[in-house]
Structure 1
Amino acid sequence: MSFSQAYYYPSTSMPIATPRKPGYYPSPHHGAYSRMSVSPPEAADSVTTSGVASYDPSAASSSYAGSANEYDSASSGTQSVDLYEYMNDRVASAYNPLPLDRSLAQQAQTSGQLNAKTRQLMELQALAQSRLAAAQANFAQGMKTAKEVQRDLEWTQKRVTDINRRAARKYPKEYQVASQRYAAPVDY
């Protein structure tokens, strides 16, 4: 196969989709603006206008295609681009973690304060419940004591009333003089 003549066949240009930002590109429903077509590649300087392309090996080193030796030297002298690493670097440079870190620190502090207040509230609640139980026990003891005192007073009043009745029957004159001198309280 000889490379003395190379033929150029223009390819049919196919429309390709382009990325759109809202409000930046026209709507996709506006005909010619919805897609952009790619123009055919530029012909080298060695191409004639007669329609038949000629191949000049000396011009090939300056053309786009280059020679095989150039590809070998280019691939050995440079490293290939890792798309994953490139995108990772781009995202890492675009992402600022400081506001998130500050928010997390503030959230942790607020959570710690809330937990401390919750524990303090639970301790105060337990203290209030123990005091309430002690107050209820004291109240129950006081009621028991009050009932005992009331029983004792009723028994004493009954005894005093019984003694006064016997004294009034046995010693009516002395009882009369004593009751006028030492009047009994009206409500007891």
Structure 2
Amino acid sequence: MATHQYYQPSMAINVPSKAPSAPSLYPVGRVAVPPTDFSDSSTTAGSRTTGYSANASSYAGSISGDYDSSTMSGVDVVDMLNDRVHDSFDPIPLDRGLAMQAQTSGNLNAKQQELLELQALAQRRLKGVRANFNDGLKAAKETKRDLEWTQKRVSALKAKAEKAHPEEYRRASSKYAFDDNY
């Protein structure tokens, strides 16, 4: 014969009974709301409000195990706890925060798009300015070349006039003095 060993806890476990005075370790004992506290309108209209108002004594009684287990028979504890959590959490500030974040993100994206458009405009204008600058530089070089040619031509004509008419040139030079280096 084989002997089987079974686990035997060293600590006593409270087993729920039908007797109202038996203490319980189940979480149902912590719920202080009998089903009669719910109004029909709050449970059938789809609203999550319970209309329940608890005070410290109702919780104190439930923690110590002073409850009537027969009144808790039709209550879904998970739904009741979910309803309480839902009622205690107000999503409006979170929704407002998300709306402000979305609005700020939209404004930021709009400003980013505007910045990209302004950068593209600045690039186009810079190309135009560079083209105008290069045209102006080309015109300045041509003007300088033309002035140098004109200067050489005037100097040649002056030398020729001085040679051909020395007396008249000397009188005109003394009467109309000008700087040759100008």
1:147 alignment partner AA:
K
Q: Note if 1:99 corresponds to 2:90.
A: no
Give the drift of 1:139.
1.1
CA 1:122–1:88: 2 relative to 1, 3 Å: same
Q: Note if 1:187 corresponds to 2:181.
A: yes
Q: Note if 1:131 corresponds to 2:128.
A: no
SS of structure 1 residue aligned to 2:178: coil
Paired with 1:186 and 1:162, the residues of 2 have a C-alpha distance of 13
For residues 126-185 of structure 1, the C-alpha deviation after alignment (integer angstroms, 9 at most, x for no partner) is 222222222111111111111100000000000000111111112111211122222222
- Stretches of structure 2 that go unaligned for 5 or more consecutive residues are 1-8, 21-69
Paired with 1:174 and 1:187, the residues of 2 have a C-alpha distance of 22
2:11 to 14, 19, 22: 14
What TM-score, normalized by structure 2, do the two folds share? 0.57
Q: Percent identity?
A: 52
Please name the residue that 1:173 is paired with.
167
Give the drift of 1:82.
3.9
Please name the residue that 2:83 is paired with.
89
Paired with 2:102 and 2:16, the residues of 1 have a C-alpha distance of 60
Considering only aligned residues, what root-mean-square deviation do their CA atoms show, in Å? 3.3
- Stretches of structure 1 that go unaligned for 5 or more consecutive residues are 1-11, 17-37, 45-73
CA 1:170–1:81: 2 relative to 1, 3 Å: same
Paired with 2:112 and 2:102, the residues of 1 have a C-alpha distance of 15
Please name the residue that 1:116 is paired with.
110
CA 1:42–1:163: 2 relative to 1, 3 Å: closer
1:90 alignment partner AA:
R
What TM-score, normalized by structure 1, do the two folds share? 0.55
Paired with 1:43 and 1:13, the residues of 2 have a C-alpha distance of 25
Paired with 2:125 and 2:16, the residues of 1 have a C-alpha distance of 92
Instruction: Considering fraction of residues, name the structure with more helix.
Output: 2
Give the drift of 1:113.
1.5
2:127 alignment partner AA:
A
2:170 alignment partner AA:
Q
Please name the residue that 1:157 is paired with.
151
Number of equivalenced pairs:
124
CA 1:43–1:145: 2 relative to 1, 3 Å: closer
Paired with 1:173 and 1:14, the residues of 2 have a C-alpha distance of 142
For residues 36-62 of structure 1, the C-alpha deviation after alignment (integer angstroms, 9 at most, x for no partner) is xx5997989xxxxxxxxxxxxxxxxxx
Paired with 2:19 and 2:159, the residues of 1 have a C-alpha distance of 146
SS of structure 2 residue aligned to 1:183: coil
SS of structure 2 residue aligned to 1:14: coil
Paired with 2:164 and 2:178, the residues of 1 have a C-alpha distance of 19
CA 1:40–1:141: 2 relative to 1, 3 Å: closer
